Amino acid sequence: MNSPGTLPLTDGPTGAGALLQLMRDGRPRTRAEIIQVTGLARSTVGTRVDSLLAAGLLKPAGESRSTGGRPPVRFAFNPSAAAVIGADLGATHATVGLTDLDGTVISDRTVELDIASGPGPVLDRVVELGRELLKEAKRTRTDLAGVGIGLPGPVEHSSGRPVSPPIMPGWDGYDVPAHVSAGLGGPVLVDNDVNIMALGEHATMHPDVDHLVFVKVATGIGAGIITGGQLHRGAQGAAGDLGHVAAPHGDGVLCRCGNVGCLEAVASGPAIVARLARGGVDAHDTRGLVDLVRGGNVEAIAEMRAAGREIGAVLASTVSLLNPQVIVVGGLLVQCAESLLAGIREVVYGRSLPLATEQLQIVAARTGGHAGVIGAATMVIQHVLSAEEVERQLASVAS
C-alpha cells in the first residue's frame, strides 16, 4: 500500500501533499532528515510538517538520538487519521470491510446478497453494513475518508455507473456513487470486481511487482491488469475483459453475452458444471464443483484441468502482449488451484516465448476473501491521499 514517494516535493500550493507521499514509505523521520532527503529549506519543511500534523496525517513517532540538546522528534504517516469502507459485491454475496489509510482491514462482514435484486436493495444493505462497521469501531461519518465498491460487471470508472452488466438487471446506468454517498458520505469510487481484486492482491502480496495480471475464475472470468505499478483500465474502463475473448475450443458454444465461443462459455464454473452434467456427474453449482474436485472426483479434476488449458491458451496471448512478471489466479475456483493452475501453466509456458516466461510466476491468490475489500479501499486511498487531493483537503481546513 505504501507509496514510494517519487512525486515532486514542490507539487501544489504548499507541497505538503507531495511531502506526504514521501512520508508514506513507512520510515519515521525528523525535520532535519526530511530536509536532508528533500533539499528543501528548514522553514518550508516546518510549514509542511505542521500542516500535515494539524490535519492528523502525520503523527509524532518517538525521539531520535540526541547529538546535544533536546532530542529531535520523529514523524511518521498516521494511517489511523481516517477510515475507509471497501465493498466487494459478487453475484450472490457481499463483503464489506472497514480499513485504515494503510488498507489494513479493521473488521468486515460477509452476507448473502442477490445482485439481481436490483441496485436499491443491494446498495441499501451495503450502506447498512458500513454504518454498523463504523459504529463498532467507534468511528463516525466525519472519520470516513471515502467508500470503494467493486461490482460484478462492466463499470464506467469515471462516473461509477454500471454499463449493460449481464448478471445485474436494473443496474445499467445507475448512479451508484450518489446512492451510497447519500447514506455514508463521499467520495464514492466504483470499479468492476476484478480490477479491485487486482489492486488488493498487488498492494498486499506483490507491492514491488510493476507488471501483474490478476485473473478471476468463478461464475465468470475476468482480468485486472497492473502495468507500471498502476491499474490499467483502458479508454472506457473495459480493459481486462478476458472472459469474452474467443477460446480455442469454443466453437458453437453460446455465451451469455450473446456471442459464441467466449472463454467464459467453456471455462467458467457454470460451463464446467454443465459439461459434467452431460456426462452424468451432478456438481449442482460452482461450489459443488469445488467440493467434487476436493473430494478427488476424477471427472471433475479432468474437466478443471481442461478449463485451465483453455484459460492458459488465452493467457499465452496476454503474456506475449503485456509481458507480466506475475499472473495471479483468484476467484472461487482457485480453491481447486492445483488442477486449474496445472492446466494454465502447461499451455502458457509451452506456448509463450522463453523471454516472456523466463521469470514469469503463475500463482494462486493469497489474499482470499479480503482481496476485493482491500482493493476497493486501496482505490479510495490512492485518490484521497494523492498530492492534489491532500492539497485540496488542507486548503479546505485552512479556510
User: Where among 51, 80, 109 does a domain terminate?
Assistant: 80
Q: Which amino acid is at 220?
A: G
**pLDDT higher than threshold 70 for residue 265:** yes
Whether residues 335 and 279 fall in one domain: yes
Q: Is residue 327 part of a domain?
A: yes
Q: Is residue 23 part of a domain?
A: yes
**pLDDT higher than threshold 80 for residue 53:** yes
Whether residues 59 and 142 fall in one domain: no
Domain with 326 in it: 205-366
Burial 330-353 (b: 16+ CB within 10 A, else e): bbbbbbbbebbbbbbbebbbeebe
Whether residues 157 and 53 fall in one domain: no
Whether residues 348 and 387 fall in one domain: no
Whether residues 211 and 313 fall in one domain: yes
Query: Can you give the pLDDT at residue 5?
Result: 39
Closest C-alpha among 116, 105, 15 to residue 367:
105
Q: What angle separates helix 298-322 from helix 269-278, to the nearest 10 degrees? A: 140
Whether residues 387 and 244 fall in one domain: no
Query: Can you give the pLDDT at residue 69?
Result: 54
How confident is residue 6, by pLDDT bands cut at 50, 70 and 90?
very low
Query: Can you give the pLDDT at residue 64?
Result: 63
Whether residues 94 and 66 fall in one domain: no
Model confidence, pTM: 0.87
Q: Is residue 6 part of a domain?
A: no
- CATH code of the domain in which 65 resides: 1.10.10.10
- CATH code of the domain in which 147 resides: 3.30.420.40
- Condensed to tens digits (0 to 9), the pLDDT of residues 181-221 reads 999 998 999 999 999 999 999 998 999 999 999 999 988 89
Q: Is residue 314 part of a domain?
A: yes
The total number of structural domains in the chain stands at 3
Whether residues 231 and 360 fall in one domain: yes
Roughly how many angstroms between the first and final C-alpha of the chain, as a whole number?
30
- 378 and 205 in contact (C-beta within 8 Å)? no
Whether residues 264 and 162 fall in one domain: no
Whether residues 217 and 360 fall in one domain: yes
User: Where among 61, 80, 99 does a domain terminate?
Assistant: 80
Whether residues 150 and 280 fall in one domain: no
**pLDDT higher than threshold 50 for residue 2:** no
Q: Is residue 333 part of a domain?
A: yes
Q: Is residue 193 part of a domain?
A: no
Q: Which amino acid is at 213?
A: V
**pLDDT higher than threshold 60 for residue 300:** yes
- Condensed to tens digits (0 to 9), the pLDDT of residues 332-373 reads 888 877 899 999 999 999 999 999 999 999 999 988 778 899
Name the average pLDDT for the chain.
Answer: 91
